[in-house]
Amino acid sequence: MNENKARSFPWLTIVLLIVLVIILAWSLNSNSNSDKEISRNELISQVESGQVAEVRTKGSIIYGLYVDSDLTQEQFENNGQYDFFVNCGYASEALELVRSWEETGSVVVFKTEAVGESLLSQMLPYIYIILLVCLAIFVINMLRKMNGKNMDFGKNKARMEGNLRVRFDDVAGCEEEKREMQEIVEFLKNPKKFTDLGARIPKGVLLVGPPGTGKTLLAKAIAGEAGVPFFSITGSDFVEMFVGVGAARVRDLFDTAKKNMPCLIFIDEIDAVGRHRGTGIGNTNDEREQTLNQLLVQMDGFESSDGIVVIAATNRPDVLDPALLRAGRFDRQIVVNRPDVRGREKILRLYAKGKPFSDKINFASIARILSGATGADIENILNEAAILAARDNRAIITQSDIMEGISKVTMGPQKRSAVVSEEDKRNTAYHEAGHAIIARSCENIKDEVQEVSIIPRGRAGGYTSHAPTEDYMQYTREQILDHIRIAMGGRAAEIIKFGRIATGASSDIKHATSLARSMVTEYGMSDKLGPVYYGGEGEMFLGRDMQSRNNISEHTSELIDTEVKAILENALEEAITLLRGKIKVLDNMATVLLEKETIYSQDVDELLAGKSAKVVIKKIEERDQEHEEEDRKAREEKQRRDEELARQEKERIEVLRNSAMAAFNGQSTQTSNDTAAKADADAKQQDIETKATATKSDEPITVLEEGNFTKSTPNTKDTDESNDKSDAKKQDKDDKTSA
């Protein structure tokens, strides 16, 4: 990669710029006195008229001094100052002209200096030629690169990933889907196992599900489990403004995949390129349809693509072309639904790894609260909870952080700084208390109220968060009516307490009206209209559904409106009746909300059990103190743990330093010992040689090896006695010689 960057560095451009700057500077310097330059004819005319006093030449240039000049002759002759100059072009011409004036005595000639052209002046024409050639090469390379990019339009934009670390264990909440995909993994690992039995593995698998359910992660897990290359691309990457580019990219993608078989191709949002053909306005064959045709051919046409499994994901399977879904192409569709309560709990625990959560958090209850949430929603909620804890400088993530994260993701952040009047606060408190009491009092649904708050959030002045304790695949008529009663609970509380209504119930009425209309027009739950479908408010696919809209008569429309109105009015009356029987609970809950602004599930249950507002407020304060104490202990534990880790790290560094010093000292000591031993051995060897020379005796002298010498301190007394004995022997020998 570094070599490619070095090659692509624009050295030629930089060199050209430097040369151009040098030439420009030279040109500016040479033309700095251009205002004193006159023409040759003008100079001759001035000489003939006697205006020129003195001239001098330097190469092809004539410098001159006027008769009435302000410059002195010394400045002209010695300092190089002049009044004008003429460039004759050639030195010979300038010299000839000056000599003719000198002979006639027209002017005084100071000196003539024959100077050749400078090296830069001589090279300037060649530099111009080189610059033109370099510029031409530069332009040609640029055009070639542009043409190369134009030819790269047909290259696919798929990103190839190998050795993916994602496994099925990293995907939670879709156990059935993983079992379905296990066959694809087995085929990619051992295709011979299937081909020997004559089995044909599906070439294409279509993952269908809402956004955020983990379709892309599931495809990566398949490639990771099988250990095969993973090509990922989106449907919009095929489509370009140029005709034929999409089809060329499809061909290039499959050609690349064939070189890496077995492999897996993942096309995300395939509905961008695989929409139903012939549904556009005018029924034209556009670029998208050509791309789709090429994809159909590559998947199950004349082209053989065995060993390539194509997985696509979409959340709009209804708009896909039927040819794309037939057998041999995307003949296996796997619906990746939103996770159930057990799946959500597994996802919570999966994303909770590595985060310091409080021991009091109940993931099972949180999973029940997050009914209808996808894996992406859960990850986002836990991330928001961690951010909230870090923002408050807390060491652990608590249940309240998660609840606040849920509310922040679904409704937006709290607006504590909003200025709200006491009257609005009181109205909001009774409104939200009405919702909470109705939600906990309905017999057909068992919703758990997680949070009630009068703090503005998003567009709401307050909110009541409640969710079913169980996941429902379908709802009965009585359950839908209970949900309408809950929506009307806020308006009912306002009517009971204040005898008036406010605009705060607008979103509740809209939600209740939508449920009532669906009961009448879609679910067939009206006695007057019967089990007839009168059309919902689903999205219309332009070009295919324009002629398939249901027509409803005016009489039927009137009956629908009447029935919807009756359902809403009955629900409001029932909510008022229910709240009148629990007026004391309504007052206590509103009082607590005005005092604490936010209450949770346990607080609602205690108020419904008959506890007074003072008792509930006291318990909320005690719970807050417990949370603070728990956070304090967690912070101290974290500090102690950090200090222990720092101490261990310090000890480890000290041990390493001591080991290094010990090794260094040991080497130095060994070197010193070796040097001292060698010096001692050399000294003893020299002493022996000296003795041998002094005695000159025929007796053999035994010399110890150098390695046998050890470091010792010499004994002065022994040395003196040896010297005396040697002297005595020498004297005795001399006496014998004399005799």
Enumerate the domain spans of the chain: 11-116, 122-154, 159-277+287-337, 414-536+555-611
pLDDT at 713: 35
pLDDT at 565 over 60: yes
pLDDT at 488: 94
Domains 11-116 and 159-277+287-337 share a fold: no
- Per-residue pLDDT of 727-738, as tens digits, reads 444 444 444 434
At the second CATH level, the architecture of 11-116 is: 2-Layer Sandwich (3.30)
Rounded Cα gap, residues 45 and 52, in angstroms: 10
Catalytic residue among 269, 289, 432, 494: 432
Rounded Cα gap, residues 580 and 480, in angstroms: 22
Rounded Cα gap, residues 158 and 268, in angstroms: 11
pLDDT at 539 over 50: no
When mean pLDDT is compared over 242-246, 296-300, 511-515, the highest value belongs to 511-515
Which region among 60-74, 184-198, 227-241, 673-687 has the lowest average model confidence (pLDDT)?
673-687
The reported pTM is 0.62
Superfamily covering domain 159-277+287-337: P-loop containing nucleotide triphosphate hydrolases (3.40.50.300)
Rounded Cα gap, residues 448 and 601, in angstroms: 7
Round to the nearest angstrom and report the end-to-end CA distance of the chain.
99
- Per-residue pLDDT of 639-675, as tens digits, reads 888 888 888 888 888 888 888 888 877 655 555 555 5
At the second CATH level, the architecture of 414-536+555-611 is: Up-down Bundle (1.20)
680 pLDDT band, cuts 50/70/90, is low
- Three-state SS for 443? coil
| Averaged pLDDT, 467-479 | 83
Alpha-carbon 611 to chain mean position: 51
Residues of the chain above pLDDT 90, percent: 17
pLDDT at 694: 44
Rounded Cα gap, residues 177 and 216, in angstroms: 13
- Per-residue pLDDT of 143-177, as tens digits, reads 776 655 555 555 666 677 777 788 888 888 888 88
When mean pLDDT is compared over 305-309, 510-514, 551-555, the highest value belongs to 510-514
pLDDT at 586: 93
pLDDT at 283: 46
pLDDT at 366 over 90: no
Higher-pLDDT residue of 307, 234: 234
pLDDT at 725 over 60: no
Q: For residue 469, what are its two tokens?
A: 């304790």
How far lies 659's CA from each of 192, 487, 662, 670, in Å? 58, 74, 5, 16
Q: For residue 737, what are its two tokens?
A: 């010689």
pLDDT at 353 over 70: yes
The closest of 472, 478, 454 to 590, measured between CA atoms, is 454
- For residues 506-543, one letter each, b for 16 or more C-beta atoms within 10 angstroms of the residue's C-beta and e for the rest, the string is eebeeebbebbbebbbebebbeebeeeebeeeeeeeee
How far lies 459's CA from each of 371, 429, 595, 681, 685, in Å? 22, 16, 22, 98, 103
| Averaged pLDDT, 215-239 | 85
Higher-pLDDT residue of 397, 545: 397
Q: For residue 404, what are its two tokens?
A: 């606040």
**φ, ψ for residue 100, nearest 5 deg:** -65, -40
| Averaged pLDDT, 110-126 | 64
| Averaged pLDDT, 377-398 | 89
Rounded Cα gap, residues 576 and 569, in angstroms: 11
Residues of the chain above pLDDT 70, percent: 77
Rounded Cα gap, residues 464 and 438, in angstroms: 11
| Averaged pLDDT, 7-29 | 64
Residue 177 a catalytic site member? no
Q: For residue 240, what are its two tokens?
A: 């370009």
What's the whole-number average pLDDT of the chain?
78
**Residues 620/452, Cβ–Cβ less than 8 Å:** no
